[in-house]
Each structure stands twice: as structure tokens, then as C-alpha cells.
Amino acid sequence: MKKINTFALALPFIILVSAIVFGEGAIILALLSIMVTGFLQFSIGVKMLVDNPKDKNLITYIAFVALFFILWFFNAFIGYTDIITYSIIPIPFLLAIYISVIIYKKIDHINF
């Protein structure tokens, strides 16, 4: 789990650095790879939650992921407001940090 998370976090940065050689296309790929990072981290979080369903940190993580998508859906399709737009921008970054801390703290205690 640690290796997958480390790879997922490093992937956008590696692709972004390659923009020096490959140009603008690498920047677009780096932005798209952020979605891959989020998917991998969410998958890891769900697997850890299935293995340990009473873990409050993992329940909190899943709840904030759900809140992010609910706010995003509401803002995009029901009623756009700038306040919601600006408030959801940092949420994926904070979720990535939060699940990484959970993974690196818990992985020593759980044998996958």
C-alpha cells in the first residue's frame, strides 16, 4: 500500500518535470494523472475501510470524499456559487495528505 501511494503521489510530479523535454502535452498529462492519483488513493482507502470498518479516520476520509463530490455536483448542476467553487479547490489536496498520513501510520500495524 505504501508503494502504491508513493507512486500515485509521485506520478503527477514526474510527468510535470518531463514537460521540460516533452512540452505542453506533458503538463496536460500531469493534470490528468492527478485524477489517477485520487482514484488510487480512494481505492486504497476503501480497501482499508473494508478491512477495518470501525476505523474513525477512514470513515472520516470517505465522508469527506463524499462531501467533495456532493458539493461539486451541487455546484455544477444545481446552483453555481463562487463560495462553493473556491472552498472545494483545496479539498482534493487535503484529502491526499490525510489518506497518506493514514496509510503511512496504519501500514506498520496492518499486514497486507
Digits of tens for pLDDT over the chain (112 positions)?
778 877 777 877 777 788 778 778 888 888 888 888 889 999 999 999 999 999 999 999 999 999 999 999 999 998 888 999 999 999 998 999 999 999 888 766 555 4
* The pLDDT of residue 110: 54
pTM above 0.75, yes or no: yes
Grid cell digits, residue 78: 444545481
Grid cell digits, residue 59: 470513515
Q: CB under 8 Å to 15, separation ≥6 — which residues?
A: 26, 29, 30, 33
